[in-house]
Structure 1
Amino acid sequence: MRIPRIFHPATVPLTGGDIELSDDAANHVGRVLRMNPGEAVQLFDGSNHVFAAEILSVSKKQVIVRTQPGVWQDKESPLHLHLGQVMSRGEKMEFTVQKSIELGVNVITPLFSERCGVKLDGERLEKKIAQWQKIAIAACEQCGRNKIPEIRPAMSLDAWCTEHDEALKLNLHPRAKHSINTLPAPLSRVRLLIGPEGGLSADEIAMTAQHHFTDILLGPRVLRTETTALTAITALQVRFGDVG
């Protein structure tokens, strides 16, 4: 049976010894997994270290574990990927966050554009960002990553495109002349823009060109926004990262 992996925030150092799990971790171990004293878990704290641990006690409010010294375990891709994703509705955005992190994305910035179908602001938007960050943590627990990707605060497409970044900037466009296979190698950093279901407007496409984004084509078929993101990330990881 696979030993459950549990994220424990680095604000409480893991150095070996008896520790109390964070509220989220304790809830997952005690209520979701219904684990008992004597069972094994593996903890990670976002530092690329993993810690073998044994559960000492479980109660409704508290889980105590005994940890062993950490072991360095780096599963990050050599390709640093920053995904700028125009927000999609409901489960589509959650799916994009989860799967893109499994595929190795390092940073995700949710974006607003002219044709964005999500209308969130204030406290509701903050709650969504927090929810997506929890999905990111759960994805790392599942896929074996030991560093937690960042879900940044949402911003406008214009603001995101104007940020300074040394990465190669890519924009998926169905009429582009370039493909991922024609991009020059080696490549270590990519800033990938994925538009909404209705695509970017003509003005937005012109704006990305002004900020030195390269239009690229994935193939002859028109893909949904969540399919586009995952296809592009996979293709980039195959060519420049650690997939395949």
Structure 2
Amino acid sequence: MPRFYVDTPLTGAGELALPPSAARHVQVLRLQPGDALTLFDGSGPEWQAEVTAMGRSEVRVKLLAAVQPQRELGRQVTLAVVMPANDRMDFVVEKATELGAAVLQPLMSERSVLRLTGDRADKKRAHWQGVAIAAAEQCGRTVPLQVAPVQTLAAWLAALPPAMPDEWRGLLSPRAAEPLAPLVQPRAVFLSGPEGGLSEAEEDAARARGFAAVSLGPRVLRADTAPLAVLSWIALT
């Protein structure tokens, strides 16, 4: 059954006009009155719905019943990723959504190749949020990954509050000797560096903010592989 995200609250059974983005998807699929579809607004539940009217500029649907599927990870995971180059960030956002991350924080560090500021950063963030929504529609999530504003690593670390007892902070480092151990806290933040890794000074700054350096094994993983490997591990443990 087709699934669509709508950027307006779905508050109760009844008929409504779909927002333009969702309406375009319905029109492209050539759905007809009486056809079934699923809608979600990012708040948690999803709605079974039925097309009631198709027009050139408007698509109307009837909300039938809300269900609360359980498709999220058992832990709330934030990935703080120094953005990889060559548009690989699209891949990271898509797969992080599929694997269940709650938040993705794009960062720039000393060795960053990709650097974004101002309008360019805002446009990229909006694009990545669209990638996350499309991935949520495909994979069945009802709460899409949230893409945070682009920041420098230094600014992000400086603004972090002290870690609470229910949160674990991990620094993915090829220099670390300690392997990643099973998590017991309900929330986790993982910091992953760029091509070439974080500098020693950056790793020291992360440790000062409560991050424990951990290893993902003897092989050096790419900047777009390491954070996804962590998510896969969490999903299976």
Distance 2:63 2:98 in 1: 26
Report the equivalent of 1:62: 58
For residue 168 of structure 1, what is the aligned residue in structure 2? Answer: 168
Q: Indicate the larger mover: 153-162 or 213-222.
A: 153-162
1:70 alignment partner, SS class: strand
What corresponds to 2:100 in structure 1?
104
> Contact 1:169/1:213 (CA < 8 Å) preserved in 2?
yes
Q: Give the counterpart letter for 1:5 in structure 2.
A: R
Question: Alignment partner for residue 196 of structure 2, among 184, 195, 198?
Answer: 198
Question: How many residues are paired up?
Answer: 233
Query: SS state of the match for residue 65, structure 2?
Result: coil
Equivalent position to 1:155, from 111, 134, 151: 151
Q: Distance in 1 between matches of 2:215 and 2:190?
A: 13
Contact 1:170 1:192 in 2 (8 A): yes
Q: TM-score, normalised by structure 1?
A: 0.90
Aligned counterpart, 2:72:
76
Paired residues of 2:16 and 2:61 also in contact (CA < 8 A): yes
Q: Is the 8 A contact 2:10 2:40 kept in 1?
A: no
- Equivalent in the alignment of 1:114: 110
**Conserved in 2, the CA contact under 8 Å of 1:14 and 1:70?**
no
Tell me how far 1:153 sits from its aligned partner.
0.6
Shift of 1:90: 4.1
The answer for unaligned runs of 5 or more in structure 1 is 240-244
What's the secondary structure of 1:69's corresponding residue?
A: strand
SS in 1 for 2:113: coil
Alignment RMSD (CA, Å)? 1.5
For residue 17 of structure 2, what is the aligned residue in structure 1? 20
Distance (Å, rounded) in 2 between the aligned partners of 1:180 and 1:238? 14
Aligned residues with identical type, % of pairs: 37
The answer to whether structure 1 residue 238 and structure 2 residue 236 are counterparts is yes
| 1:94 corresponds to which of 77, 90, 93 | 90
User: Is contact 2:77–2:102 with CA below 8 Å preserved after alignment?
Assistant: yes
What stretches of structure 1 move > 6 A for 4+ residues in a row?
none
Q: Secondary structure at the match of 1:226?
A: coil
